[in-house]
């Protein structure tokens, strides 16, 4: 009899999870160990999974890959230890931030006890504990103490906003002025009382615009009823807010932060913000338009394009002013130039919007021209000749003059991008970029007269800008004046020992002294330039011999003393430029050009001739070295000093 085959259908167990868990528990009575789940890798490869003592799988250990069983084998005790370590770290952080004399956080059991332990405070005041953030390089400026209640005048705040849109917005038109003013009016209607606006109620973005507008009013001398300490944003807070997310709004806030840091001396360098801003712009895609941009409204799309070009203008200005390489080439800019929007064209201030748009395009063309000059000068195989670049410079200046003629009736002195004096300064700066010597380049020695003439005109025009309150005292102006100091020293050593009087060196030192005392680099450069001017003045004095008689037994040591003084000035100026602009700045190259190498070789030849004269027994003047490293003429064998001998030679001549 054949055995019958019985088939059974096993239904899913509909019992509760608690019963399933109790049934799944291993029992000692059955004498068998319950099966352990396999790791993901063993299930994928259909291999037997065997655990080790540490809880991982042998197959995963052999393959040197992390095992999924380790993620499941974390005991509650391990998690508790990790949680306690994090709590201890947070407790130490809070204790360090608490004011002196405040009880530590360990003595407070709950958050309710923490609130009851302190007097009644508002949430905004309780969250404004002073924290020392100087180690990060950005000081915590906008930090209020609980007993302080800083308020801003509504009229003064509105004046700062208007100054921003009157001047800064022309070069960086990425903000919608209509939306910003509407937000400000709504904030005043909600928070302002008796014409006072609480500082804590102002958003960071609006507060940054007001702070930048205050720097414009400060430069124009129109600051009234506004204190500088009332408009100092929390730099670290703004930076952390922008870095935490990557979008168009954070890129715009970073650009505002960079514009504000241009006027702040110290460790807050705008170069770092320019680098972060470039990464944000490339990540968001502001340099080109993706297909998703077509879904935006015309107004939002135009603001996005303006933001991309504003980032381009700012980063190019930083690179050219500091003499640093460009963050990205020009050919990646695939965005149309800024254009006027419909609501701007139809508004009552349509003429002002049109002028702002023309200034923005003129600034973009200026940065593009500067980029072409730098690429042509420092490229070993340039595609554009210096003559073609000179023609482009003249064309840009002509367009600027036409733009200036349409803005002759400006009502105030706040904007200056359309003034003739500012255009002349930018014109001379373009010539400086064109004629400045490149690294190791000696062919530009024939352009030294043009280079020196452009530098002299730049200084005189900058003084006129300062008299008209159109010269901003910021990092850009400082870097350009420091580059002029290097150019003047280059020209001085080029014409040595036949020094020509350059009065613009003293004027440059005066310009640097106009900076506030907090700008240490400016005043250090001023002292260096004063020493250079003194050397040139002494060389042009009739008491100093300008030539040496051929075949004379007297060897003139004034040239050696002058050379050593010039070398000392060059070393100090080069160190100052490296500290201010960076090691890679191409404005340091004139100090390392072949002219300086030739002067150094001339110094060594003169010293060799002097030593040869001493060894041959010729009665020459002995040289004594003072404590400051300068040379002073000693007496010769006849008891005459070098100055007396030179004075006698002048009478003989």
Query: What tens digit of pLDDT does each residue of 46-93 get?
Result: 888 888 876 778 888 777 777 877 665 545 565 566 667 667 766 776
Confidence of residue 106 (pLDDT cuts 50, 70, 90): low
| Per-residue pLDDT at 363 | 96
| Per-residue pLDDT at 604 | 44
| Per-residue pLDDT at 167 | 92
CB 307 within 8 A of CB 285: no
SS3 of 215, please? helix
Q: What is the mean pLDDT of residues 584-598?
A: 72
CB 566 within 8 A of CB 496: yes
In the chain, the percentage of residues whose pLDDT exceeds 70 is 68
Q: In this predicted structure, which of 231-245, 417-431, 490-504, 512-526 has the lowest mean pLDDT?
A: 490-504
| Per-residue pLDDT at 545 | 47
In whole numbers, what is the pLDDT of the chain averaged over residues?
Answer: 76
- What does the DSSP assignment read for 332-389? G--SPPP---HHHHTSTTHHHHHHHHHHHHHHHHHHHHHHHHHHHHS-SS-SS-HHHH
Token readout for 302 is: 């135009």
Q: In this predicted structure, which of 56-70, 425-439, 561-575 has the lowest mean pLDDT?
A: 56-70
Q: Indicate if the pLDDT at residue 193 is higher than 50.
A: yes
| Per-residue pLDDT at 351 | 85
Q: In this predicted structure, which of 331-345, 540-554, 559-573 has the lowest mean pLDDT?
A: 540-554
- What does the DSSP assignment read for 551-614? T-SPPP-HHHHHHHHHHHHHHHHHHHHHHHH-TT-GGGGGGGSHHHHHHHHHHHHHHHHHHHHH
Confidence of residue 541 (pLDDT cuts 50, 70, 90): low
Q: Indicate if the pLDDT at residue 322 is higher than 90.
A: yes
Q: Indicate if the pLDDT at residue 306 is higher than 50.
A: yes
Domain spans in the chain, listed from the N-terminal domain onward: 37-65, 154-388, 533-652
Confidence of residue 552 (pLDDT cuts 50, 70, 90): very low
- The better pLDDT of the pair 33, 370 is held by 370
For residue 466, CA distances in Å to 70, 74, 462, 472, 483 come to: 70, 69, 6, 8, 18
Partners of 623 in beta bridges: 633
Token readout for 4 is: 């019958």
Q: Indicate if the pLDDT at residue 391 is higher than 90.
A: yes
pLDDT digits (tens, 9 = 90+) for 260-283: 999 999 767 899 899 999 999 999
CB 449 within 8 A of CB 416: no
- In the DSSP assignment, the letter for residue 498 is S
| Per-residue pLDDT at 134 | 40
| Per-residue pLDDT at 45 | 83
CB 396 within 8 A of CB 365: yes
| Per-residue pLDDT at 639 | 38
Q: What is the mean pLDDT of residues 533-551?
A: 62
Token readout for 652 is: 């003989």
Q: Indicate if the pLDDT at residue 498 is higher than 70.
A: no
In the chain, the percentage of residues whose pLDDT exceeds 90 is 37
- The better pLDDT of the pair 8, 219 is held by 219
- What does the longest C-alpha to C-alpha distance in the chain come to? 150
- What does the DSSP assignment read for 512-543? HHTS-TT-HHHHHHHHHHHHHHHHHHHHTSTT
* CA angle (472 as vertex; 469, 474 as ends), nearest 5: 155
| Per-residue pLDDT at 14 | 52
| Per-residue pLDDT at 37 | 80
Q: In this predicted structure, which of 69-78, 162-171, 204-213, 315-324 has the lowest mean pLDDT?
A: 69-78
Q: Indicate if the pLDDT at residue 202 is higher than 70.
A: yes
Q: Indicate if the pLDDT at residue 585 is higher than 80.
A: yes
Q: Among candidates 449, 520, 426, which has minimal Cα distance to 482?
A: 520
- The better pLDDT of the pair 562, 583 is held by 583
- The better pLDDT of the pair 73, 150 is held by 150
């Amino acid at each position: 009899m054949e055995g019958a085959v019985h088939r059974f259908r096993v239904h899913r167990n509909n019992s509760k999870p608690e019963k399933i868990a109790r049934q799944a528990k291993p029992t000692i009575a059955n004498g068998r160990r319950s099966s352990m789940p396999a790791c993901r890798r063993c299930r994928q490869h259909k291999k037997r999974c065997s655990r080790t003592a540490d809880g991982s799988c042998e197959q995963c250990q052999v393959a040197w890959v992390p095992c999924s069983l380790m993620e499941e084998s974390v005991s509650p005790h391990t998690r508790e230890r990790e949680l306690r370590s994090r709590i201890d770290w947070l407790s130490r952080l809070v204790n360090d931030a608490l004011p002196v004399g405040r009880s530590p956080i360990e003595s407070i059991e709950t958050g309710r006890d923490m609130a009851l332990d302190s007097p009644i405070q508002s949430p905004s005041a309780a969250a404004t504990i002073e924290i020392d953030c100087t180690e990060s390089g950005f000081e915590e400026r906008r930090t209020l103490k609980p007993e302080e209640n800083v308020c801003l005048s509504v009229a003064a705040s509105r004046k700062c906003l208007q100054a921003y849109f009157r001047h800064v917005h022309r070069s960086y038109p990425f903000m919608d002025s209509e939306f910003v003013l509407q937000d400000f009016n709504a904030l005043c209607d909600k928070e302002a009382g008796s014409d006072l606006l609480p500082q804590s109620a102002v958003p960071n973005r609006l507060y940054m615009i007001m702070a930048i507008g205050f720097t414009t009013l400060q430069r124009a001398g129109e600051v009234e009823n506004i204190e500088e300490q009332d408009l100092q944003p929390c730099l670290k807070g703004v930076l952390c807010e922008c870095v935490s997310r990557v979008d168009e709004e954070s890129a715009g806030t970073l650009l505002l932060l960079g514009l504000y840091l241009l006027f702040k001396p110290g460790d807050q360098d705008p170069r770092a913000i320019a680098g972060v801003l470039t990464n944000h712009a490339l990540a968001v895609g502001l340099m080109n338009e993706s297909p998703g941009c077509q879904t935006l409204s015309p107004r939002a799309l135009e603001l996005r394009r303006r933001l991309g070009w504003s980032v381009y203008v700012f980063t190019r200005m930083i690179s050219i002013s500091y003499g640093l390489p460009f963050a990205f080439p020009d050919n990646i800019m695939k965005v149309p130039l800024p254009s006027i929007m419909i609501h701007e064209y139809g508004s009552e201030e349509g003429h002002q919007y049109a002028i702002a748009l023309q200034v923005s395009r003129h600034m973009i063309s200026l940065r593009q021209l500067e980029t072409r000059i730098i690429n042509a000068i420092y490229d070993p195989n340039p595609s554009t000749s210096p003559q073609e670049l000179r023609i482009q410079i003249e064309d840009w200046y002509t367009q600027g003059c036409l733009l200036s003629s349409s803005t002759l009736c400006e009502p105030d002195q706040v904007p200056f991008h359309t003034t003739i004096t500012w255009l002349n300064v930018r014109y001379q700066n373009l010539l400086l970029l064109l004629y400045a010597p490149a690294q190791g380049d000696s062919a530009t020695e024939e352009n030294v007269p043009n280079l020196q003439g452009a530098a002299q005109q730049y200084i005189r025009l900058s003084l006129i800008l300062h008299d008209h309150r159109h010269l901003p005292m910021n990092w850009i102006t400082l870097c350009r004046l420091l580059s002029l100091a290097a150019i003047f020293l280059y020209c001085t050593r080029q014409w040595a020992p036949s020094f020509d009087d350059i009065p613009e060196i003293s004027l440059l030192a005066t310009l640097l002294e106009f900076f506030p005392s907090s700008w240490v680099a400016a005043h250090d450069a001023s002292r260096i330039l004063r020493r250079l001017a003194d050397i040139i003045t002494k060389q042009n004095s009739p008491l100093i011999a300008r030539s040496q008689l051929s075949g004379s037994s007297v060897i003139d040591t004034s040239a050696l003393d002058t050379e050593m003084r010039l070398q000392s000035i060059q070393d100090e100026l080069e160190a100052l430029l490296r500290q201010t602009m960076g090691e890679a700045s191409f404005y340091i190259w004139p100090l390392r050009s072949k002219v300086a190498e030739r002067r150094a070789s001339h110094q060594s030849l003169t010293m060799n001739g002097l030593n040869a004269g001493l060894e041959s027994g010729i009665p020459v003047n002995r040289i004594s070295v003072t404590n400051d490293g300068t040379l002073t003429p000693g007496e010769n064998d006849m008891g005459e000093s070098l100055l007396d001998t030179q004075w006698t030679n002048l009478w003989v001549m």
